[in-house]
Chains A and B, each alone.
Chain A
């Protein structure tokens, strides 16, 4: 990955994190705020591959944990897994369906929110598993699913010049190359 691409990823992470913390997290829709960070991580992983996705996820998780004075490492661990998983999905399957980012966003949010709750319980935070908590997790997943496609489009627009292949041509390539991702050739 070129330094320009790394710089743009860093900028994306910084801006995305700040927008999430200062604005998006304070707007409640369906009673819960949206969480853009897992969407950003999975979008980057889905566009750039597993290693950039994992590194981006780790860094963004660390940024969020630091900014919110949370236990360091919790979000890093989860977002590393999310970014890596999204990247591996792209590398192995290269889904060309237009709604694939939506499914990936939903799955990433589910992993992030459920994983965060599980880790909190493992760390000994005393909170009952209530219907309210389950409802909040579910509503966050639903809300993030709706936001997944716009976030993915923004990420793709920002990262398009640095991607190994233009994602808009993936559908056509899928027919000509038997569906193999160019990332897998690297």
Chain B
């Protein structure tokens, strides 16, 4: 290859590079009204119709590629949004559940503080299973004998009495609801002071009866029914009631009057929402107050 060719090639390169650098420097240095800007605008005006024509002519090709791209994008976006939707829905469910549980925990804590349940050594437990049968009004909790839970200990939630422990294993326990046919608790009408016994209304799920009330005519509709916590002996081992005094059971919903005083039937609605139980407390030392009184 001759030197002339090499020199020419290098000269062309040098000229082009220098021209580029000159254009770059001049364009960058001048104002927007400068010569190069004006030339550029003029060239653009010339090119604009060509570009517009080409743009229209090539639009079908662009649309075709765009259609493929949009379809692929739409599919991937749909999958992405679907996954995001599932994730958000799960998060919402979890958040709602946690919020509800938190409210119940707060209610329990408030009840422990203000209702004086804290000295009964409450053990918080989550409901982990529930009997689907209306014949067995029971549910299962995630605390058992290793947590101090024993049979017959009262179970409450932030509203009031829920039931009692029916059976216990090491890590969980079965709780009998107060609407179970086998359930019974000595009770007292809060306002009138009438004693009695609360048990389930047979054949009416979710309904309770306040029975064996000496002066039933004194009990009024809307009156609160609480646990009586009665005992006939000063010895702790002879306690007849399993429940400490003052736990709210329900409110008098309806009173059926009969021919005589004994025919009067007092219906009580449980104060605890037994269908929506997530968090409960087992009172592991329900007789602490009685012990305190019995101790000389």
A residues adjacent to B (C-beta < 8 A):
18-19, 21-23, 26-29, 50-51, 54-55, 58, 61-62, 65-67, 69, 71-74, 76-77, 80-81, 84, 123, 184-186
Q: Are B1 and A184 in contact (CB under 8 A)?
A: yes
Interchain nearest-CB distance for A126 vs B (Å): 15
CA–CA, A186 to B20, complex, Å? Answer: 27
Which of A62, A72, A77 interacts with B17 by CB under 8 Å?
A77
Given contacts A66-B47, A67-B47, contact A76 B12 (CB under 8 A): no
CA–CA, A76 to B24, complex, Å? Answer: 9
CA–CA, A65 to B27, complex, Å? Answer: 11
Q: Are B51 and A73 in contact (CB under 8 A)?
A: no
CA–CA, A50 to B66, complex, Å? Answer: 37
Determine, out of B36-44, B250-258, B259-267, the stretch whose residues face the partner at the interface. B36-44
Query: Chain B interface mostly helix, strand, loop or mixed?
Result: helix
Given contacts A19-B58, A27-B69, A66-B43, contact A76 B16 (CB under 8 A): yes
Of all A-B residue pairs in the complex, the 4 with the closest CB atoms, nearest first, are A73-B24, A73-B23, A77-B20, A72-B27
Closest to A183 in B: B1
CA–CA, A88 to B44, complex, Å? Answer: 33
Report B-chain residues with C-beta under 8 Å of the C-beta of A123. Answer: 28
CA–CA, A28 to B195, complex, Å? Answer: 82
B residues adjacent to A (C-beta < 8 A):
1, 5, 8-9, 12-13, 16-17, 19-28, 36, 40-41, 43-44, 47, 50-51, 54-55, 58, 61-62, 65-66, 69
Query: Chain A interface mostly helix, strand, loop or mixed?
Result: helix
CA–CA, A65 to B55, complex, Å? Answer: 18
CA–CA, A71 to B36, complex, Å? Answer: 10
Report A-chain residues with C-beta under 8 Å of the C-beta of B9. Answer: 50-51
Report A-chain residues with C-beta under 8 Å of the C-beta of B40. Answer: 65-66, 69, 72
Which of B24, B26, B44, B51 interacts with A74 by CB under 8 Å?
B24
Report A-chain residues with C-beta under 8 Å of the C-beta of B65. Answer: 27
Q: Are B1 and A22 in contact (CB under 8 A)?
A: no
CA–CA, A66 to B48, complex, Å? Answer: 11
CA–CA, A38 to B216, complex, Å? Answer: 99
Report A-chain residues with C-beta under 8 Å of the C-beta of B25. Answer: 73
Report A-chain residues with C-beta under 8 Å of the C-beta of B12. Answer: 51, 54-55
Interchain nearest-CB distance for B249 vs A (Å): 64
Closest to B43 in A: A66
Interchain nearest-CB distance for B239 vs A (Å): 72
7 residue pairs bridging A and B, Cβ less than 8 Å apart: A23-B62, A27-B65, A58-B20, A67-B43, A76-B20, A80-B13, A80-B17
Which of A54, A65, A74 interacts with B16 by CB under 8 Å?
A54
Interchain nearest-CB distance for B236 vs A (Å): 72
Q: Are A77 and B21 in contact (CB under 8 A)?
A: yes
Closest to B48 in A: A67
Interchain nearest-CB distance for B55 vs A (Å): 4
Closest to A74 in B: B24
Given contacts A51-B8, A55-B16, A66-B43, contact A21 B51 (CB under 8 A): yes
CA–CA, A84 to B16, complex, Å? Answer: 10
Given contacts A23-B58, A27-B65, A55-B12, contact A69 B17 (CB under 8 A): no
Report A-chain residues with C-beta under 8 Å of the C-beta of B26. Answer: 72
CA–CA, A110 to B58, complex, Å? Answer: 27
A80-B13, A80-B16, A186-B1 provided; 15 other pairs, C-beta below 8 A?
A19-B54, A22-B51, A23-B54, A50-B9, A51-B12, A54-B12, A58-B16, A66-B40, A69-B40, A72-B27, A73-B19, A73-B25, A80-B17, A80-B20, A81-B17
CA–CA, A61 to B19, complex, Å? Answer: 12
Report B-chain residues with C-beta under 8 Å of the C-beta of A186. Answer: 1, 5
